[in-house]
Structure 1
Amino acid sequence: MMYLAYQTQADLMEPIRFGAKMARRMLDSPFMGLLGGNSGIRHLSAAYEMVERAALSHARLPFHIDTTTVGNREVEVVEENVCRLPFGTLLHFKKDVDVPQPRVLVVAPLSGHFATLLVGTVRTLLPDHDVYITDWHNARDVSLDEGPFAFDDYVEHVIKFLEFMGPGSHLLAVCQPCVQALVAAAVMAQEDNPAQPRSMTLMAGPIDCRINPTKVNELATSKPISWFERNLIATVPPGFAGSGRKVYPGFVQLSAFVSMNLGRHMKAHFELYENLAAGELEKAETTKVFYDEYFAVLDLAAEFYLETVQYVFQEYRLPKGELTYRGNPIDFKAIRRTALLTVEGERDDICSIGQTVAAQDICSSLRPHRKRHHMQAGVGHYGVFSGRKWAGQVYPLVRNHILASD
């Protein structure tokens, strides 16, 4: 009923948003401009635009990366879907370059947002690397005929993507999938898979949530897993390809994210209204671009969500050595050839200091010179993989780590 109620409300709001859009276009027309930029009209137009924007999107936006600079020349970037699996597509940012570059698989989080949340990460990597990314599908658009998508299925997708890319690739995981990326590397090492990555970069991921628990960790342990299943899992209503599938809705996850920093989001939208009303369109555009992406949400398959909460955040199976893959024990000591870099943010309130660096001890067979850790001062969670300090201070370390392992 939860999902049906949400969708009904969204459908009822659609004509209201459409009406606001038409009204705003009329107020922004050249005819109204003859009135000399009346302040009242600008405020009314801004109000209509805020109503127009009061909606979530459930489709991935384009990355909008058309070019990048390689060496001293600008080259075209083309998005290619090179390997499609039921719940995710391997997306390649193809460039026409003269010299082969290290192939890097960016493993995007599956936590309510699309892979475009990492557009800044990809944009920074592109000049020096041949970049691929896991483009996860919205579970509400995946037919029940494709079966379930659980924790092990996520790991299998990562392994299959690395196999498609071929031997010599590198792995970079951001946030939640650091666990699955580490598992994938261990499973491939155990099987002596020729496509096991040469290097692995784990950024702000919950490897060991027992260390310095955050509000996110405390929420996960405050209720039994049965509570999460009863209260947060919904059924996709009719009208979608995945009708009948059990999911953790993206709109629920977004509500949780927003509530953690409600004051900041309210302030941002108030400032957006003021910028629109004042005609400061450049400032307004920056805010709109951010929230266009932030309010684009996807649903998670219920199996994956519940198992991730249980295995990673409640039972700590990875650091306790109790995690399995397809029913078989995982030997992380098998990782001997994949160099490891872990990165954390000083002010990260989602994945705190100590949780990611724990991977260093888990990969105990790696020689010391094959392991490195970096704590980035002055950044929160998103600053680890996006923004000025990511590009200027964290990325050079990632680039050198990959280059030294290539």
Structure 2
Amino acid sequence: MLYTLHETGYYGATPLRLTALATRDFWSSPLNPARDTDLGRRLYATADLFSNLTRRYRRPEWGIDSVTIDGERVAVRTQTVWSSPWAKLTHFSRDMTDMRRAGRNRLEPPVLIVAPLSGHYATLLRGTVQAFLQDHEVYITEWENARSVPVMEGRFDFHDYIDHIREMLRFLGPRPHVVAVCQPGPPVLAAASLMAQDDEASRPASMTFMGSPIDARFSPTVTNKLAEERPFAWFASNMVYTVPPPYPGMGRRVYPGFVQLYSFMSMNIERHQEAHLRYLEDLMRDDGDSADKHLEFYDEYLSVLDLTEEFYLQTVDYVFQRYLLPKGELIHQGRLVDPGQVKDIGLLTVEGENDDISGIGQTQAAHDLCANLPAELKIDYVQPHVGHYGVFNGRRFREEIYPRVRDFIADHQSRFDKSAKPA
């Protein structure tokens, strides 16, 4: 019912939104002699803000057409190299002619960046991808919006997520590197553990976990406490709704992206209100640069996708209520997932000192779970003065975190190259 009400509200606001768009265009037209008056700027700014608050936010574009490597511009194009109804694997292919001009004459390590399936699109990691493109062949998971997947395609749950990661690593093998950002930590560690147990040739050479709830019992945050305080039945009864028409996934039960978005925004509602008031003031002052930065952030932040009922509820149950992986109780397709089987995969954990989503210790827990991994293959790093988002994006990520991840991957690529050489 809530989903239907949400859609009704959107379509009900359409006449007002169209009026606002017409008003915005009228007061921004160069043919309007009053557009630069105080009244004109106020009417334009108000109409623009209203139209932005009530419009539909689509899947953002990557917008990455080049990267600078050693001072040279290298062209980049995206291409889908593997797909299922639930995800596609996107490769950021760098032009080899440009690469040779930049002094890079050999293939660089393949890195699979596993984006979160927690409400936002993979483009939230645009800055992450841009950093890794300087030194790696970058691939990223792009999860599908559950409301766009017809019911006939079946289910997608926590275990399907694990299997998807394994299939992608097999596609990239042998021994690719994997970077899990936030939510994917537990299923990626599970996938690596199973591949290690099976001695698969495509098991990762290294795995990096960034702000991931490997063991959510450590330093519980507001999000963790909510999951602990509410019974599982509450989440099933209050957070899952049916996709209405005209979406292709009509009839599918989902955790709507807009519910996740409203939950996060309500935690910092004053900050978002202040941001929109500043945007209004910037427009009235004709400060286009500041206004564009605001739009760039919210175009990404307000673009959300739905999660399937089964994936969402299993994540709540497995990761945030019963803690199956760290307690050694996660069963995947009849097999116990044992991170102790990981013996030759480099492990790097990265946490933010001020992370209010995944508290200190939650990601570090991977080191204790990989009990049979030699100490020289493990590194833990806590970045001072950053929150959750700063672990994988922003200035400190580019200048302090990424260089450590780059060097860690290079070290384990070197180990793999040496071991792969014939005796």
TM category (shorter chain) comes to: over 0.9
- Counterpart position of 2:369: 362
Q: Give 3-state SS (helix, strand or coil) of 1:201's partner.
A: strand
Confirm or deny that 1:27 pairs with 2:34.
no
Q: 1:236 offset after TM fit, Å?
A: 0.4
Root mean square deviation, CA, Å: 1.1
CA distance in 2, matches of 1:331, 1:51: 52
- Counterpart position of 2:64: 65
Q: Give 3-state SS (helix, strand or coil) of 1:77's partner.
A: strand
Q: 1:55 offset after TM fit, Å?
A: 3.2
- Counterpart position of 2:328: 321
CA distance in 1, matches of 2:56, 2:314: 26
- Counterpart position of 1:397: 404
Confirm or deny that 1:194 pairs with 2:201.
yes
Q: Give 3-state SS (helix, strand or coil) of 1:208's partner.
A: coil
- Counterpart position of 1:272: 279
What letter is aligned with 1:360? H
What letter is aligned with 1:248? Y
- Counterpart position of 2:103: none
Deviations 1:274-300 (A, max 9, x none): 001110010010011000000000000
Q: Give 3-state SS (helix, strand or coil) of 1:293's partner.
A: helix
Is the contact between residue 325 and residue 337 of structure 2 (CA under 8 Å) also seen in structure 1?
A: no
Confirm or deny that 1:141 pairs with 2:148.
yes
Q: Give 3-state SS (helix, strand or coil) of 2:180's partner.
A: strand
Q: 1:39 offset after TM fit, Å?
A: 1.2
Q: Give 3-state SS (helix, strand or coil) of 1:31's partner.
A: coil
1:177-326 equivalence runs, <5 A: 177-326=184-333
Q: Give 3-state SS (helix, strand or coil) of 1:389's partner.
A: helix
Choose 57-66 or 315-324, whichever is displaced more: 57-66
Aligned-pair identity (%):
45
CA distance in 2, matches of 1:154, 1:170: 18
- Counterpart position of 1:46: 45
CA distance in 2, matches of 1:388, 1:327: 44
Distance 1:13 1:403, change over 3 A: same
Q: 1:166 offset after TM fit, Å?
A: 1.9
Q: Give 3-state SS (helix, strand or coil) of 2:61's partner.
A: coil
Q: 1:40 offset after TM fit, Å?
A: 1.1
- Counterpart position of 1:7: 7
What letter is aligned with 2:53? A
Q: 1:101 offset after TM fit, Å?
A: 1.0
Is the contact between residue 358 and residue 388 of structure 2 (CA under 8 Å) also seen in structure 1?
A: yes
Q: Which runs of 5+ in 2 are unaligned?
A: 101-105, 414-423
- Counterpart position of 1:86: 85
Is the contact between residue 56 and residue 295 of structure 1 (CA under 8 Å) also seen in structure 2?
A: no
Q: 1:91 offset after TM fit, Å?
A: 0.7
- Counterpart position of 1:16: 16
CA distance in 1, matches of 2:376, 2:300: 39
CA distance in 2, matches of 1:196, 1:55: 46
CA distance in 2, matches of 1:323, 1:114: 27
Q: 1:58 offset after TM fit, Å?
A: 5.5
Q: Give 3-state SS (helix, strand or coil) of 2:53's partner.
A: coil
Deviations 1:260-315 (A, max 9, x none): 11111111111011001110010010011000000000000010000000010001
CA distance in 2, matches of 1:57, 1:200: 36
CA distance in 1, matches of 2:35, 2:301: 35
Is the contact between residue 343 and residue 374 of structure 1 (CA under 8 Å) also seen in structure 2?
A: yes
Deviations 1:355-391 (A, max 9, x none): 1000001011110010000000000000000000000
Deviations 1:39-72 (A, max 9, x none): 1110110000011101364532111111001233
Could you tell me the TM-score, scaled by structure 1's length?
Answer: 0.98
- Counterpart position of 1:127: 134
CA distance in 2, matches of 1:193, 1:358: 24
CA distance in 1, matches of 2:19, 2:85: 37
Distance 1:59 1:165, change over 3 A: farther
Is the contact between residue 57 and residue 297 of structure 1 (CA under 8 Å) also seen in structure 2?
A: no
Distance 1:344 1:317, change over 3 A: same
CA distance in 2, matches of 1:59, 1:140: 13
CA distance in 1, matches of 2:215, 2:277: 38
Confirm or deny that 1:165 pairs with 2:165.
no
What letter is aligned with 1:95? R
Q: Give 3-state SS (helix, strand or coil) of 1:54's partner.
A: helix
Is the contact between residue 23 and residue 43 of structure 2 (CA under 8 Å) also seen in structure 1?
A: no
Could you tell me the TM-score, scaled by structure 2's length?
Answer: 0.94
